[in-house]
Each structure stands twice: as structure tokens, then as C-alpha cells.
Amino acid sequence: MGALLQNPTQAEQDFLARFALEPVDGERQAAAERFARAGLPSRRNEAWHYTDLRAKLRAAPPLAARPDAAALARAKQKLAPSDRLSIVTVDGYFIRELSDDLSSTPGLSVRALKADEPALKSLSRGADDALLDLNAAFAQGGVAIEIAAGAQVEKILELVALDSASGALSRFAHHLVVLGEGAHASLVETRAEGAEGFGDSALFVSLGRGAQLDYACRSLEGGAVEVQNFVARLGSEAQLRAVSLLAGAPFLRRQYFVSCDGANGQIHLSGATLLRGREHADVTLTLDHDAPACLSRETFKYVLADQADGVFQGKIVVPPHAQKTDGKMLCRALLLSDDAAMSSKPELEIFADDVACGHGAACAKLDASQLFYMESRGIPRAESQAILVEAFAAEAFDDLKDERLRDLLSADLALLLADGAFT
């Protein structure tokens, strides 16, 4: 398998041993070989400087197998009824029998992802990341959601990621969302895989010319160690509005690899991350303006209590041919405790001369004068703080065009703040 790692950690040995046990081929084999050379990323990798996965992941839990009937029964109990169109996965495997029957929804196709789906490789071309490689080597049984050109899916699609409650496992999930030319859809990803084990999931998104996707990720209970990958490519005039709400994350890295492949695309990436205790969450994005006249806005908000640790890294690449690029990136953190920490690293790589690109970062405490003003109106301190925190975080949801997704995230946020942990 080529030049192997020097002094592999237990976790790296576990993963490598599993490759050896289960011979893979094609792209999976190539990805496995890349991982075997690079290993898990650590502080020494610039892109992972603030999230030392190699140190954190001591050993790799056993690989999740396709869930059996008992596992599905356990997962089903966690499934809450909703008026959204549910597509359910358990431990990363698409489970048709737990999903809604979508065969009669016009323009929509939901099918099992093929073992060696070429779209995944094509969408992640240019992304060089060990966790994407690990995902490519191990993930199977995903789902492909395809919306035909010109189709408009009225109801919200919801990708529900459940676990089988089988103890600590390594879960690898990969799913594909394709919107044809001019198609419109709203997608919610609800992640509820429990707090155990290791997760390395990837959502691959392809937007055809003029397609529009509103996407909300609700991640309120992360695994002990979890990596979420969001890989997207946009055709010309396509619009992507992707917003995440991250909380309950013991150790989470969410990474975006997004590229504008055609002119006049619009990208909004936003998120609110609320951490408490010793939680750690890292949002890292690479946005490639690979075409002229595209617009991008990134707004990431962090609310950090106790000893929580927030990380934001945003890299925007504007090659010479991407004239008239309009980009703005903003990261703001609210520190509710003296022991909370925020690391923010914006990177702009601009090689075109006729562009408007800017970034900003700020860390602050709650404003004492605002709090006093609210208290002087009779609103008790804890409630005043909760109102200010909610207003601060909810601003990240404004980018969504679909009000229903905004309401969903706002309701999650209100629930999250209700127990007083962020005051």
C-alpha cells in the first residue's frame, strides 16, 4: 500500500487494519492509499491546526454494519412524525422502509447511491483532505436525492441521520443531492446519531444552471468525535443558501468545500454554533470562486459558555479569471465565560484585480449596558441574556430564503436556550 505512516496511532492502525481485512477497489482503494500515506490530521497540518483529530481519536471504534431488524426498531423509536418528506439513514445507511414513499412526488427521485458513484469523485475534485479520503474509502449504503431540471419540490425534504444505538461505532455516511437545471428545493439535514463513537459523514451537492437550494443543517447532538463534510458545486446562476445550527458537540469539525463553477452564482454559507462545558467545534470552509461575477456571503456566529472552544477558518480563493467576484466573510463570537476560547482565521487568496472581497472577525462579551437596559424594564437577568444570545445567534438564519427552514432553526435555538445553559 505504498509508503506507510511512521509511528501510526492506534486509531490509524485500526483503520489501516480494516482496509487490509476488506479489500476494496477503484476509487475506494485510491482513497485508502492516500489515507495510508497521510494518516489522521494533527496540529502539524495547517488546515487542522486548531482541531487535533490525531490526538483526540485514540482508537477507532468498530465499523458500523448495515443495521439489522433490531437496530432498525431502535432507530424507529427516535423518528418523530413531521410534515416534511423524510429520508432516513441509520448509521449512515439509507433505510427505505423508514423513509417516506416519495415515488409519486413529481420531479423527485430518491434511490440508493451506487457503490462507485462517479459524481462524488467529480464533486470533491480539488478537495485535498484526509477525512474526505477516509470517507471515500469506507462509506457505503448512502442515498441519492435527485430533482429533475425545472422541478420545484414544494414540501421540505428532510434527511434524518439516526443511529442504531449499538454502542460506540465508526460511522461513515455519504449522500448525494443533485438539482437539475432551474430546479428548486429546500432540504433539512437533521443529525441525531447520538453521542457515541466516531463519525465522518459527507453530503455531496450538485446544483445545475440556475438551480436554487435552501439547506439547513440541524446538528444538536454530535458524536464523541465527529467530522461533517459538505461538498458542493454550483453551475452558472445557481444559488445555494446553506445554514447550520451546531450544538451538543463534544468534538466536532464541520468542513465546507464549495466551488462556483459557472458565472453569476450566489453562495450564502452561515451558521450558529453554541457550545458549553468543554465542547469543541470547528467550522472550516474553502470557497473557490472558479468563475466570474459570483457572489458569496459567509456569516458564522459562535456562542461560547464555560470552557468551550470555538474555531472558524474561512478560505476564499479567487483565481485570475474570477473577475467581478463579490465576497464578504464575517465571524463573530460571543464569549459568555472568561474560560471560553475562540480562534478565528480568515484567509483570502485573491489573484484577480477587479473584485470586492472583505472579511471581519470579532469576539465580545454580552453588552452590560444592553443588559441593564432590559433589566430596568423588568426582564430578569437570565431572561435578558437569553434574549440577547438568541438575537445574536439567529442572525445567522437570515440568509435562508425559505421561511419554514428559518422557523425550524429558530425553534431549535429557542429550545436550546430554554434550559439556561447559555446565560
Partner 1 sequence: MLEINNLHISIAGKKIIDGLSLTVADGEVAAIMGPNGSGKSTLSYVIAGRADYEVTEGSIRLDGVDLLDKTPSERAALGLFLVFQYPLEIPGVTTMTFLKAALNAQRKARNEDELSIPDFMRRVRGAASKLNIPLDMLKRPVNLGFSGGEKKRMEILQMALLEPKFAILDEMDSGLDIDALRVCAEGVNALRSKDRGLLVITHYQRLLDYIAPDSVHVMSRGRIVKSGGPELALELEKSGYADYIEEAA
With contacts defined by CB under 8 A, name the span among 163-171, 269-277, 368-376, 412-420 that binds partner 1: 368-376
The answer to whether 118 contacts partner 1 (rule: CB under 8 A) is no
Nearer to partner 1, 73 or 418 (CB): 418
Does position 395 bind partner 1 by CB under 8 A?
yes
- CB within 8 A of 69, min separation 6: which ones? none
Per-residue x/- track, 145-164, partner 1 (CB under 8 A): --------------------
Query: Taking the complex as a whole, how short is the minimal distance between the CB of residue 368 and partner 1, in angstroms?
Result: 8
Task: Compute how many other C-beta atoms are within 10 angstroms of the C-beta atom of residue 18.
Answer: 17
Q: Which CB atom, from 231 or from 416, has the smaller least distance to partner 1?
A: 416
Does position 81 interact with partner 1 (CB under 8 A)? The reply is no
Contact call for residues 422 and 386 (beta carbons, < 8 A): yes
> What is the number of other CB atoms lying within 10 angstroms of the CB of residue 372?
12
**Which residue blocks in 315-360 are alpha helix, DSSP H?**
none
Determine, following the binding rule CB under 8 A, whether residue 388 of this chain makes contact with partner 1: yes
Q: Measured from the CB of residue 388, what is the shortest distance to partner 1 in angstroms? A: 7
Residues with Cβ within 8 Å of 238's Cβ and at least 6 positions away in sequence, in order, are 179, 207, 208, 209, 210, 211, 212, 262, 265, 266
Q: Let me know: does 183 contact 150? Beta carbons within 8 Å.
A: yes
Q: Between 294 and 334, whose beta carbon lies closer to partner 1?
A: 334
185 Cβ neighbours under 8 A, 6+ residues apart: 147, 152, 153, 157, 179, 212, 213, 214
> Interface with partner 1 includes 410 (CB under 8 A)?
no
Cβ-based nearer residue to partner 1, 192 or 394: 394
State yes or no: residue 360 binds partner 1 (CB under 8 A).
Answer: no
Q: Tell me which residue of 397, 379, 78 sits closest to 268, measured CA to CA.
A: 397
Among 392, 406, 408, 413, indicate the residue that binds partner 1 (CB under 8 A): 392
Question: Closest distance between partner 1 and the C-beta of residue 98, in Å?
Answer: 38
Beta strands 143-147 and 212-221: pairing type?
unpaired
Which member of 350, 387, 404, 421 binds partner 1 (CB under 8 A)? 387
Q: Which is nearer to partner 1, 38 or 379 (CB)?
A: 379
Residue 112 touching partner 1 (CB under 8 A): no
Q: Is 136 helix (H, G, I), strand (E, B) or coil?
A: helix
CB of residue 406 vs partner 1: minimum separation in angstroms? Answer: 13
Q: Judged by CB under 8 A, which of 65, 362, 391, 418 binds partner 1?
A: 391
String marking each residue 18-47 x if it binds partner 1 according to CB under 8 A: ------------------------------
Instruction: Tell me the C-alpha distance between 156 and 160, whole Å.
Output: 12
CB of 379 to partner 1, least distance (A): 5
Contact between 394 and partner 1 (CB under 8 A)?
A: yes
Q: How many CB atoms lie within 10 A of CB 73?
A: 12
Q: Does 377 bind partner 1 (CB under 8 A)?
A: yes
Tell me: does residue 338 bind partner 1 (CB under 8 A).
no
Rounded to whole angstroms, the Cα distance separating 176 from 232 reads 10
Which residue in the set 372, 415, 418, 420 belongs to the binding site for partner 1 (CB under 8 A)? 372
Is 368 near partner 1 (CB under 8 A)?
yes
Contact stretch for partner 1 (CB under 8 A) within 18-26, 316-324, 325-333, 388-396: 388-396
Q: What angle do CA 240, 246, 250 make, to 5 degrees?
A: 140
Measured CA to CA, the distance from residue 180 to residue 249 in angstroms comes to 34
Q: Which residues of 213-227 are buried (b: 16+ CB within 10 A; e: fewer)?
A: bbbbbbbbbbbbbbb
Check residue 366 for interaction with partner 1 (CB under 8 A).
no
With CB under 8 A as the contact rule, the residue among 306, 370, 401, 404 that binds partner 1 is 370
CB atoms within 10 A of CB 49: 17
CB of 386 to partner 1, least distance (A): 10
Q: In the chain, what are the helix, strand and coil shares in percent, each to the nearest 5? A: 25, 40, 35
Site residues (vs partner 1, CB under 8 A): 367-370, 372-381, 383-384, 387-388, 390-392, 394-395
